[in-house]
Structure 1
Amino acid sequence: MFVTHLGEIIALATALCWTITSLSFESAGKKIGTMSLNFIRLIIGFILISLYCYFTRGLILPIDASLHNWTWLGLSGLVGFVIGDLFLFQAFIELGARISMLVMASVPPITALMGYIFLDEKLTSLNFIGMFITIVGISIVVFQKSSKKIELVHPLRGLCFAFIGALGQSFGMILSKIGMDNMNAFAASQIRIIFALLGFSMLFFFLKKWKAVFKGVKNISAMKALTVGAIFGPFIGVSLSLMALNYTSAGNVSTITSIVPVLIIPFSVIIFKERVSLKEIAGSIITIFGVCTLFL
C-alpha cells in the first residue's frame, strides 16, 4: 500500500512542511521584508541541498542535468520562486499565512487547467464541479454580506498578492513537471533555486535593495524563524514536492498539498493567538473538499 501510494504520502509530508514554513516566513517577513526574506531563505536552502547532493550523489552541483532540465526547471524557478513566492510572502504580511494559504488552495484548479492545456491531462464534469466547490469555499472566507452588499473581509491588495502567488505556483509546478524528466528531485531543486537567485539578484541590482538584505541578516530573531522556514521550505518541502511528481500526477500533488489551510488553523491559534471563526473553518473545509473532488 505504501509503495503504491508513495507519491501521495510524500505529498502529505510536503503539506506539513508548507504549514511550518508558512508560519515561519510570516514571522520573519514582518521583520525584514519579503524580498530580503526570499533571497536569504533561498541561499540557506541552496547550501543545504548542495551539501545533501554532495554526500548522496557525489555532485555538489547538478552538472549531470541536460539542457532540457536546465531550461524548463530554470523557467520554473523564475516563475515559481521569483514571481510566485515574492507575491505570496507579501500576502503573508498583508493577510497572514492562514488566509494566504487558503487562497493558495486555488492552485489545484489552476494547475488542472494548465495540465489540460500543456500536459494533455483530461478534465471531466466532476473536475469542474470540484473547481466550483473550491471557489465557493474560498469565497465564504473572503466575502461577507453587509447592508445588502457583498464586501471583502480582507484587504483586496493582499488577496490579489495571494492570487498572483497561486498563479506563479501553478505555472511553476507545470514547468517543473515538464523539466524534471525523472531526474533527482534535489538536483532539480538546485536548478530552480539557482535561477531564482539570479532573478532576485537582478531585482536587487535595479531596485537597489542590497542594503536591506545585509540588514536582514543582522536581525537575529528574523533569522531564526527564516532558517526554520528555509529548512522546511526550499530544502525539504520543495524537494519532496518534486519527488512526489515522480510518483504521481501534478494534480494529485496539488490536491494533497492544498490541505495546508486546514493544517495551519491550530498552529495559527496557538502561535499567533488568531481568532478563527466557524465561518472560516467551514470555508476552509469546503475548499479542501472541492480540491479533493477535483481529482476524484
Structure 2
Amino acid sequence: MPTTHIGEIAALATAFFWTITAISFEIAGKKVGSLSVNLIRLVIAFTFLTLYNFAVRGLPFPIDATAEQWFWLSISGIVGFVLGDLLLFQAYVVIGARISMLIMALAPFVAAIIGWFVLGETMSGKQFLALMLTFSGICIVVLKRPLNENGEKMKKLRFKYPLAGLLLAFGGAVGQGGGLVLSKLGMGDYNPFAASQIRVLTGIVGFTLIFIFLRRLNETVESVKNKRAMLFITLGAFFGPFLGVSFSLLAIQHTTTGIASTIMSIVPILIIPASVLIFKEKFNLVELIGAAISLAGVTMFFL
C-alpha cells in the first residue's frame, strides 16, 4: 500500500465509522439520555484502547507521551469530547443524527478558522466562497417556506427543525473542528491510538466531574442496566472513540488536515440511507441536493 494514501484511506474509513456511531448513539441517547451515553461510551472506548495498545505497543497506558503531548491532547479531549460531544449528542436526540451530521459539515471550516488564529493560517477568497456554498446547502435542507391559510407558500422562511437542535449540532462542529486542530498541534508523530487514549481519558474525567456537579451519577448506573441501550453504546464506542477517532488522527498524521476533513465530511451523504432504513425518516430530492451542495463546498474549500 503506498504510504501516500494511508491518510486518505484512514479518513474514508473514519467517515464510515462515524456514520455507524452516529446512528448507534442516536438510538441509545433516546433511551437513556445523551449525558449518560457520553460517559459510558468513553469508559468502554478507553477499555478497547487499553487492550489494543497493550497488545500492539506493549504499553496499556500512554506513559511514553511527553508532557507537551499530554497537555495539548488533553485540551483537545476537553474541547472535542466534553464540550463538542456534549452538545452533539443532545442534538442527536433533538433533531436526529442525519441533520446533526449535516451541520457537522461545517467542522472543517471551524478547524480552518481556528487554525487561522492558532497556527497563523489564512483563508483565501475561494475558501470563503466554499464556506458560503456549504452554508447554502445546509440552508436548503433546514429552511422551508411554510404554507398560509390558502395553501400558498409564504415569503418568510422558517426552520424545519428546532433551532435549539441546530445550535447544539453547530456547537458540536465547533468542538470537533477545535479538537482536530489541537490534536494535530500536540500529536506530532506520536501513535494515534495512544493519542486517542489520552483524549478519551480526559473526556472521562471531564464528564465524571459534570455528573458529580449535577449529582446524576445514579442516572449512569440505571443506564447501564438498559441492555438494548448498552448494546448500541458499545457498538458506537467501538466505531467512534476507539476506531473513528483513532483513524481520524491517523488520517491527519499522514495527510493534510484539509484533505482528511474533506473526506471525513461525506458522513451526511452516507447517513441518509441508514436513517431511512433504520429510523424510517423521510427525505426528498431537495434535501439530497442540499447535502450534496454542502459536500461540494467542503471539497472546494480544500482544492
Q: TM-score, normalised by structure 1?
A: 0.98
Q: How does 1:39-188 map to 2 (within 5 A)?
A: 39-146=39-146, 147-188=154-195
Which string of whole-angstrom CA distances, capped at 9 and with x for unpartnered residues, describes residues 81-139 of structure 1?
00100100000000000000000001011111222222233432221111110000011
Within 1, Cα distance between the matches of 2:156 and 2:68?
Answer: 51
Measured on the aligned residues, the alpha-carbon RMSD in Å equals 1.0
Aligned to 2:7: 7
User: What letter is aligned with 1:29?
Assistant: G
The answer to whether 1:207 aligns with 2:206 is no
**TM-superposed deviation, 1:2:** 4.1
Q: Sort the Cα spacing of 1:248 and 1:121 in 2 relative to 1 into closer, same or farther, 3 A.
A: farther
Matches within 5 A, 1:183-198: 183-198=190-205
Structure 2 CA distance for aligned equivalents of residues 255 and 118 of structure 1: 20
The gaps in structure 1 that reach 5 residues or longer are none
Report the AA paired with residue 101 of structure 2.
M
> CA offsets, 1:153-176, max 9 Å, x none?
100110010011111111111110
Partner of residue 218 from structure 1, selected from 207, 214, 225: 225
Residues matched between the structures, number = 296
Using a 3 Å threshold, how does the CA distance of structure 1 residues 2 and 122 change in structure 2: closer, same or farther? Answer: farther
2:274 aligned residue: 267
Contact map agreement 1:19 1:260 (CA 8 A) in 2 = yes
Contact kept, 8 Å, 1:143 with 1:150, in 2: the verdict is: yes
Equivalents in 2 of 1:122, 1:59: separation in Å?
39
For residue 181 of structure 1, report the CA deviation from its aligned partner.
Answer: 1.5
Same amino acid, percent of matched pairs: 51
CA contact (8 A) 1:2 1:9 kept: no
The runs of at least 4 aligned residues of structure 1 exceeding 4 Å deviation read: none
| 1:237 paired residue number | 244
Q: Distance in 2 between matches of 1:258 and 1:201?
A: 30
The match for 2:258 is 251
The answer for unaligned runs of 5 or more in structure 2 is: 147-153
Query: Take 1:234 and 1:152, find their aligned partners in 2: how far apart are those partners?
Result: 31
Q: What TM-score, normalized by structure 2, do the two folds share?
A: 0.96
Counterparts of 1:279 and 1:10, CA distance in 2: 31
The one-letter code of the counterpart of 2:263 is: I
For residues 32 and 96 of structure 1, the distance between their equivalents in structure 2, rounded to whole angstroms, comes to 15
- Three-state SS of the structure 2 residue aligned to 1:182 is coil
Change (3 A) 1:155 1:75: same
Secondary structure class of the residue paired with 1:120:
coil
In structure 2, what is the Cα distance between the partners aligned to 1:114 and 1:254? Answer: 14
